[in-house]
Structure 1
Amino acid sequence: MAPSPRSGRARRALLTAFVTASVALPVSGAARPAAVPAPAPAAVAPLESAGSSALEARYAAGRAEIRAARDMAARHGDRRRATALTAMARPGRTFLMFDGRDGGRGVEVVGDLSRARRIAVLVPGAGVDLDHYGRLRRGAGALLDELGSGSAVVAWLGYRTPAMLSPAAMTPGRADEAAPALRSFVRELSAAKPSARVSLLCHSYGSVVCARAASGLEVADLVLYGSPGTGAADAADLRTGARVWAGLGADDWIAGVPHLEIALPWVTAGFGTDPVAPEFGAEVFDAGGAGHSGYLEPGSVSLRSIAGIVTGTAGGGHA
């Protein structure tokens, strides 16, 4: 059967976007300042227990890494980075891991992990790094407020995210790099908190990361929102025992991204089936009027829906 005119237009639109980004991003990137230097972090042992003393030791190590990165940024003359890292190192901020190199990586706990009966792990998408970390942290805080006592939220910035509207954001390479680290972290977390209900909340390009990591992970829910696709044909293709959810806000621009995969000679561009489409087979939740960056806004329909999934009280049905 010949492809429909609509699918042909979508394919041309995706290919045009990819080629444009391939040309434009290297040119614009040439003018970017050099990366802020940061020390290599010390190796840490796996978290074998989520007791308060074990956690405090990890949090102290994370705080020391942040302060070392802050001092190096200050010596480099980057006051913006040094100020941001000073805030991250304040008492009360709790990082299980921190690496200030190459845009930065970190795993921050919001809430009391030692007492948590349910844990939400936020996996961000493109454009999130140490200089754009605030929205991820605020979203974690808003979700914790919505969940209430007995909960913890983990902001998992554990990979080198692609830049927005870049070739890397349209291809699975960064997700393939990130998936082993996410899988390792979730398994470590589950071993330390075996009785806790763990949910993976995957935003935008983060849904591609989660899809690559999903197979074999013992999590209760896999929540895809603001997703460009996952690279999987359907939910069954994720090979997970988790309940798979998907949501798309009415004001999310990503709805206009063509849901195709194009095999180019050097890479595959695009991520295939829309997770909220009936043929994907996910449980579709009400995301209200959320924009692409607004799914965890306080008081929003999408935040209430996501909190209901994490607590296990949400209903829902196939799209």
Structure 2
Amino acid sequence: MRISAGRLRRTLLAAGVTAAVVFPLSGAARPEIPAPAPAALGHVTARELPAAYEANRANAAEAARMAERYGARERAAGLRAMAAPGRHFLAFDGRGAGRTAEVFGDLADAGRVAVLVPGSDTSLDTYGRLRAGALALHRELGAGTAVVAWLGYETPGTVSPAVLTTGRADGAAPALRSFVADLRGVNARARVSLLCHSYGSVVCASAASGSRPLDVADIALYGSPGTGVDRAADLNTRARIWAGRGADDWIAEVPHTSADLFGTTVGFGTDPLSADFGARVFPAGDGGHSDYLRPGSVSLRNLARIVRGDAPEAGHA
């Protein structure tokens, strides 16, 4: 049987992720680049947004200066870009891998707000990919909307033991729940949707598994390895639950199971696209794991339709 180059590549990457659980990568930890503590802002209201944006830009500028003095030139350049006029951060922390929540659009007056929750290998040093997706989604959504690129947790490495357990997601869930509540403090009228990519779908599911219902209209899981719950109905939310996967996404090769391995539960269980999970499946086109927010793609159009409250376009799932 002949295997296509694309399928072989996807299979090898999936195998690498799985093997990393048993054979973790070793290596010396990188020294942490110095950065100031985040600006003390508390709960921000619509009236306080401009001051919050200014304070976070100032914090990014100071982080850039500290990184430059440390000799981390690439990090410093990225931070200087974040500190530029016109960048709007609802939250910013330049320490370690970094935390951000960048706003695209008028958050205070938006009728629709999408929160992007990224997956593995997302940090200040790779933030450009998340930002590009947020910009593409905001352009697709158009006027009267806002998009937030929420990097509110330390994401796992794609090839690491942490990527196949819920540990990072469970640690991130309280922060995501709190962030959704903070959005309501800025704009109580907006229809809020969570768009959750890859390991970010595990974060969103954990956030929606708390004792209080998660107050969002939609949760879209795309490029998902599973969620850590068996059924969409197990989530504590009234949101519509969506799932989509591109035809060339290597994540499909990762087994949708969970098992106890050396005392740790590995894997995330039911495939979100399966009938057993019970999500609404939306067509995501033929793209790969990093293509869901690519301009002009089927997946981007349908994610925008979900955020607007519309039905996705019919077509190949």
Would you say same fold, with TM above 0.5? yes
Counterpart contact for 1:105–1:158, Cα < 8 Å = yes
Counterpart contact for 1:283–1:316, Cα < 8 Å = no
* 1:38 equivalent among 35, 38, 46: 35
- Superposed CA deviations along residues 165-222 of structure 1, whole A, max 9, x for unmatched, are 1101111110011000000000110232111100000000000000010141111000
The secondary structure found in structure 2 opposite 1:144 is helix
Query: Which runs of structure 2 are paired with 1:7-22 in the superposition (5 Å)?
Result: 18-22=18-22
2:194 maps to 1:197: no
2:236 maps to 1:239: yes
Q: 2:23 maps to what in 1?
A: 23
2:250 maps to 1:253: yes
Counterpart contact for 2:214–2:236, Cα < 8 Å = no
Q: Which runs of 5+ in 2 are unaligned?
A: 1-12
Q: 1:167 maps to what in 2?
A: 161
Q: 2:295 maps to what in 1?
A: 298
- C-alpha distance in 1 between matches for 2:160 and 2:262: 18
Q: Which 4+ residue blocks in structure 1 deviate beyond 4 angstroms?
A: 13-19
With the length of structure 1 as denominator, give the TM-score of the two structures. 0.90
Shift of 1:21: 4.4
With the length of structure 2 as denominator, give the TM-score of the two structures. 0.90
- Residues 232, 77 of structure 1: CA spacing in aligned structure 2 closer, same or farther, 3 A cutoff? same
Q: Which runs of 5+ in 1 are unaligned?
A: 1-12
- C-alpha distance in 1 between matches for 2:140 and 2:191: 16
Query: Which runs of structure 2 are paired with 1:1-319 in the superposition (5 Å)?
Result: 18-25=18-25, 27=26, 29-30=27-28, 33-47=30-44, 49-51=45-47, 54-215=48-209, 216-315=213-312
Shift of 1:14: 8.8
Aligned length: 300
Identity %: 60
Q: Give 2:23's aligned amino acid.
A: V
Q: Give 1:102's aligned amino acid.
A: G
Q: Give 1:229's aligned amino acid.
A: G
- C-alpha distance in 2 between matches for 1:144 and 1:105: 21
- C-alpha distance in 1 between matches for 2:313 and 2:136: 23
The secondary structure found in structure 1 opposite 2:108 is helix
- C-alpha distance in 2 between matches for 1:279 and 1:271: 14
Bigger proportion of residues as helix: 1
Aligned alpha-carbon RMSD (Å) = 1.9
Which shows bigger deviation, 308-317 or 243-252? 308-317
Counterpart contact for 1:123–1:156, Cα < 8 Å = yes
